[in-house]
Amino acid sequence: MERKAKCMREKFKKGELVIGGHAFLTDPCITELFGYHGFEFVWIDAEHGAFTLPCVQSHIQAAASADTASIVRIAWNDPVLAKPVLEMGPDGIIFPYIRTPEEARKAMAACMYPPKGIRGFGPRRANQYGVLEDREYLDAVDDSLLRMVQVEHRDAVECLEDILAVEGLDLIVVGPCDLSASYGMIGQTHDARMEMIYDTIAEKCKRLGKPFGVSLGPSDEEGIKNWIDRGAVFMGCADDMNYMRMGSMKTLTMVRDYVRSRRQSI
Please write down the HEC assignment for all residues of 113-160: CCCCCCCCCCCCHHHHHHCCCHHHHHHHHHHHCEEEEEECCHHHHHCH
Q: What is d(CA 254, CA 36) in angstroms, rounded to the nearest whole number? A: 27
Sorted by sequence, the CB contacts under 8 Å of residue 153 that are 6+ apart come out as 97, 99, 178, 179, 182
* Number of Cα atoms under 13 Å in the Cβ half of residue 168: 24
Spot the catalytic one: 37, 48, 59, 190: 48
Local structure of residue 17 (DSSP, 8 states): -
153 noted as active-site residue:
no
* Residue closest to 19 by CA, chosen among 214, 242, 231: 214
Report strand pairing: 234-239 vs 69-73. Answer: unpaired
Sorted by sequence, the CB contacts under 8 Å of residue 50 that are 6+ apart come out as 26
Q: What is d(CA 261, CA 92) in angstroms, rounded to the nearest whole number? A: 50
Catalytic machinery residues: 48
